[in-house]
A and B are shown apart, each in its own frame.
Chain A
Amino acid sequence: GQSLEQPSEVTAVEGAIVQINCTYQTSGFYGLSWYQQHDGGAPTFLSYNALDGLEETGRFSSFLSRSDSYGYLLLQELQMKDSASYFCAVRAPMNRDDKIIFGKGTRLHILP
């Protein structure tokens, strides 16, 4: 089967750094994406890693290790507005098409 595992909840303090891990098990792999979803809102795209290494976009960074089937999202200088759910998603080949498979999401709580 195909599955993605990420922690259900993470708590961190405003101004700190937090890492949200994602491990995946899929038959085939093109890349790993991260999405943010605030309560009542739609998921919004944060990043995509197709190759090993760290991609940085402002306060957010995303890392991928294809050999370990593992990635993480790193959020620095946490702000209260970063309180949200974060989903990892794998893009993988499926028959003749691509498929995007989502993890169940990590709820990030930020304490003042």
Chain B
Amino acid sequence: EAQVTQNPRYLITVTGKKLTVTCSQNMNHEYMSWYRQDPGLGLRQIYYSMNVEVTDKGDVPEGYKVSRKEKRNFPLILESPSPNQTSLYFCASSLGENGELFFGEGSRLTVL
């Protein structure tokens, strides 16, 4: 089954404790992206990757890092989480031709 898998789905952590949200897709998509969703603000892009070893900042990259060592994986790293990073995070992938993004189920992160 074609899918984008994120882990963990839910996480409560404390300020400053490094965490990684993993994202994996099995569709051989070149394009992958991370979004955060906050009430009233829609989906805002954090980082994206056009292919292996190619990553670029989105609209809200501060406080986040990503890597793309393999085509299927695109982890999101919060080196020192802060409460303003409490949000719902979505990973997505796409063939990149028609704008059809396939989303993971989301990861709800709470930073205390």
Contact = CB atoms under 8 A, between A and B. Distances in A.
A45 B42 contact: no
Interface string B66-82: 00000000000000000
**Does more than half of chain B's interface fall in helix, strand or loop, or is it mixed?**
strand
Interface residues of A, number: 26
A85 to B, nearest CB: 9
A103 B42 contact: yes
B53 interface: no
Chain A at the B interface: mostly helix, strand, loop or mixed?
Answer: strand
Interface in B50-103: 50, 56, 90, 94, 96, 98-103
Contact of A30 (B56, B90, B99, B105): B99
B11 interface: no
Interface of B: 31, 33, 35, 40-45, 48, 50, 56, 90, 94, 96, 98-106
Interface of A: 8, 30-33, 35, 41-45, 48, 50, 87, 89, 91, 95, 97-105
